[in-house]
Amino acid sequence: MPAPTNTLKHRLASGEVLHGIWLGLADPYAAEIAATTDFDWLLVDGEHAPNDIRSLSAQLAVIRGPAPVVRLPDDDPVKIKQVLDIGAQSLLVPMVESAAQAKAIWRATRYPPLGIRGVGSALARASGFAGVPDYLQTANDEICLILQVESVKGLAALEDILAVPGVDGIFIGPSDLAADMGLIGQPGHPDVTAAVIDALARIRAAGRSAGVLSTDPAFIATCKAAGANFVGVGIDVTVLANALRNLAHRWRD
Catalytic residue positions, numbered: 48
Asked if 106 and 115 touch (Cβ cutoff 8 Å), the reply is yes
Distances, alpha carbon 188 to alpha carbons 30, 197, 201, 242, in Å? 29, 12, 18, 20
C-alpha 123/C-alpha 86 separation (Å) is: 9
DSSP code at position 211: E
Euclidean distance between CA atoms 203 and 197, whole angstroms: 10
CA of residue 231 relative to chain centroid, distance: 10
CB 41 within 8 A of CB 68: yes
Q: Identify the H or E element spanning 239.
A: helix 236-252
Cα separation of the two ends of the chain: 60
Separation of alpha carbons 249 and 253, rounded Å: 6
Alpha-carbon gap, residue 228 to 123, rounded angstroms: 37
